[in-house]
Structure 1
């Protein structure tokens, strides 16, 4: 569902954020939960009628300043982070109006390939990204990663590594098949789960409730569940972390604003917000 993110804050918010955030603490350090983003007024929903209300060709005299409507399709996993970032982008560039639609990357790719007028795609699905780049000639760049981790209730518990997940008596929660965290867990770790959860936050909830000793989830799932639990990294998950890619598509309507938005996703401020939501740096 597309929603209109309202204008808040001031340009000074962007200027004040000058430091680059480091990655979330791993190796048993707690993952802290950010404050929930303030809800914004929703725009009237249109079924991919992106051409309505889009900015026309930029006035040459004002082309250096980002302005006008900008259509962004973003993976559901980045909803909270980009709810914050879109507001800050609009505050930095008051002449812009960013329209965001969140949902599965594969669905976004299908719509873009079919001709939906989209300026920027933020995808967490490598196959979907490749499909869009091939069809549109867009320019992709990685802005964040989302590794699988082992969420545990406490540091002095029975689980300290992947090997511990296979020990007799250790109860492991794994997401259901055909979910992003479930497929990642099954591809990286050979375990027999005691709990099969509907999604990542549900697997985390099993650890908090004491029905599981550990859960194989993405780091962002711990943050989404508002759970201050230790997260244990392991090499295979770090090497095969989900990548979140921003793609500047080939639309000509508002290139200046699209280029500015893509650059903004790589800024220190954007990286800090993504880190607060559990994502690891792109590098």
Structure 2
């Protein structure tokens, strides 16, 4: 497998950090991008090229791509990992926060794809890896805006895959299940802030506990599992269109396919503890 030039977003922690390290260990030239550059010093010590990038700022994304092309002459793989989970009852979430969720999880990823594609098309090769979630196939209470972003990125990836086939560019979707990262804590904090004190308060507290309580630790896989999955996709000559990995990802996606809407609602309410809330 030849050395590839790879950009990983959201590389300062969690899945992005683990992925950048794994791909670098495989001998690839890896650029790790994030807003919090100070948290990536250990990545730089491991030979990863660290980039400051804010995926809500177009100039920042353009500068990152231009730097990679100037230094390497190409970009072979883009791993769109940056994102976050903002939970809250649909009635409570301010539209500003809803738009911010889409700006990071969808529009930032798509804009980077737009910037990367001319260079990939010129070489008639490349791989776009979009990190969605099993949450791009299922739904959980109080997560409407988050799931909306992941459903959107799944659909965009499918359309993109067909558009890029004539140019020899692969599009891969990674669907993590429960992963041990900062994601759950951030989502739970936002949930309590948004819906913890109103009519949805009882649901919000139960849901937040299901995300971060002691029992949740047994429902989380290490981020290295997703890093290894991305590595397999990057290594494959003909990668799959989708890889589900991490705690409960495959069985939960299968259940969603198998069950009716209301039956799956019941499963989710019981799994999160909301069945006990009046």
Q: TM-score, normalised to structure 2's length?
A: 0.31
Which of 1 and 2 has greater Rg? Answer: 1
Between 1 and 2, higher relative CO (CA 8 Å, sep ≥ 6) is seen in 1
Q: Which structure dedicates a bigger proportion of its chain to helix?
A: 2
Q: TM-score, normalised to structure 1's length?
A: 0.31
Q: Which structure dedicates a bigger proportion of its chain to strand?
A: 1
